[in-house]
Structures are given as structure tokens and as C-alpha cells.
DNA sequence: TATGAAATTACGGTCTAGCGTAAATATCAT
DNA sequence: ATGATATTTACGCTAGACCGTAATTTCATA
């Protein structure tokens, strides 16, 4: 499962995959974040207008975190040890 | 340089470090993104209300991309090869 | 293919990001 | 110190996110 993303669409898709990998519905995320199901839907569908707070809340509910990496950069050995 | 982030503050700090590592000013980012300097400032200072489009534009200008990873998860061997 | 659950879309309302512009601080080199 | 550069903050404005609520469409499975 590739979770790299540089567009809102890719982020939304990654969120959706992570959610389904846990067997959760948008309603489950909604209950855990107090965000409306419509908001989760909008995020997963790649709305770039989504607020950072919304994305972070959903990611926290999914147990995810960001890693900011160089575009096209290989994984650095420092990232491992 | 640790670029992991799960809060707006950490994201802002990571952006600021990446910018300075390139020797750029907020004005440089502004020129490349058509975002106001004040907006870049707000983002770097951890405003969670920042729009995803803003963050993505700044990251693109810096040649960065996201990687969504499991919290506390180790680097998977699949991430390397 | 029926059918209940899940996801998307809609409408009025509040709140705020980001805009243009500009002033106020802060940072830094000489 | 001081002048130049960089960052932060302010004000009025417009656009749009997210809210509550609810209708509508899509999807999964019996």
C-alpha cells in the first residue's frame, strides 16, 4: 500500500484506504472526530480546501502521521536507524 | 532533521526548516506560490486552520511530498526496495 | 434484484482563511 | 548601534469550510 501523496486527491485516497483497511466507515471516523460525515467524504474525495485541522483529526483517528520527504528522493539511511 | 509530524505546529516547523535549508525567505515561497507572505507565516507558525491547498502549494515549491505512515510504526522493508 | 447501510449532495447559517494593503516587530550584517 | 531585510500582525472584504439537518444516490449483500 503506497501512501505517498503530493495532491489532495492522493491524500484523500490514502485516507480512504487506511480507513477501509481498518474496516471503518466514514461514520466511524465521524464519531471519533466530531466531524460530519459529509466533511470526511469531502476530504476523501480530494477537496483541497479542507482545513489542516480536519485532516489531522482524521489522521489521528486512523493512527497515522505525516512524514515530509523530498520529492522523488530515495529513503535515506538516517530514516531507518 | 526529523520531518515527522502529527500536529500543525510540527508541520509548520518542518516547512520552516525545509525552507531555511534551501536558504529561502517566506517572500521566495510567496513568489513561487502566489500566496501572501502572511499566509506562509501563519502556516509555519502552526495555524491548523490553514487550507490543504496552501500547505500543498508550499510543499510543492519546496519539492516536498507527504508520506502517510502508521504512528510509531517502524520503517517497513517495502518502503526501501 | 431487493434493501438496508454507506456515501454523496443540498440548504441556510456562522466562522474564518486568505486576499490587498500597510504598519509594526524582529532578525541580521556591517 | 543602525540600516536593510525578514517576519509578524492588523483591517476590511470575499469566498468557502464546516455546522445541523435531511434528502438522494451508491454500494454491498442476502
Report pLDDT digits (tens) over A9-67: 999 999 999 999 999 999 999 999 999 999 999 999 999 999 999 999 999 999 999 99
Written as nine digits, the cell of A24 is: 471503518
pLDDT at residue B79, as a whole number: 41
Asked if A5 lies within 8 A of B65 by C-beta distance, the reply is yes
- For residue A68, CA distances in Å to A22, A32, A73, B30 come to 24, 25, 11, 20
pLDDT at B74: 52
- Distance between CA A61 and CA B2 in Å, rounded? 23
Nucleotide nearest to B43 (CA to C1'): C17
> Which chain A residue has the Cα nearest residue B46?
A52
Task: Please determine, for residue A73, whether its predicted confidence score (pLDDT) is greater than 80.
Answer: no
Give the Å distances, CA to CA, from B11 to A22, A61, A79, B70, B75: 25, 18, 17, 16, 20
Cell numbers linked to A2 = 503506497
Q: What is the pLDDT along chain B (81 residues), one digit of tens a residue?
A: 547 899 999 999 999 999 999 999 999 999 999 999 999 999 999 999 999 999 999 999 999 999 999 887 555 433 434
Which nucleotide's C1' sits nearest to the alpha carbon of A50? Answer: D17
For the beta carbon of residue A17, count every other beta carbon within 10 angstroms. 15
DSSP string for A32-56: HHT--HHHHHHHHTT-TT-BHHHHH
pTM: 0.89
Phi-psi label, residue A73: left if phi above 0, alpha if psi -120 to 50, beta otherwise: beta
Which contiguous run of DSSP H or E holds residue B4?
Answer: strand B4-5
Please tell me the distance from the alpha carbon of residue A78 to that of residue B20, in angstroms, as a whole number: 20
Q: CB of B18 within 8 A of CB of A81?
A: no
Predicted confidence at residue A77, as pLDDT, reads: 36
CB contact under 8 A, A64 and B71: yes
Amino acid at each position: 500500500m503506497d501512501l505517498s501523496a503530493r495532491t489532495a486527491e492522493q491524500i484523500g485516497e490514502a485516507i480512504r484506504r487506511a480507513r477501509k483497511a481498518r474496516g471503518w466507515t466514514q461514520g466511524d471516523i465521524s464519531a471519533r472526530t466530531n466531524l460530519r460525515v459529509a466533511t470526511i467524504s469531502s476530504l476523501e474525495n480530494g477537496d483541497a480546501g479542507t482545513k489542516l485541522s480536519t485532516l489531522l483529526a482524521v489522521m489521528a483517528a486512523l493512527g497515522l502521521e505525516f512524514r515530509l520527504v523530498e520529492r522523488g528522493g530515495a529513503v535515506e539511511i538516517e530514516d531507518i536507524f
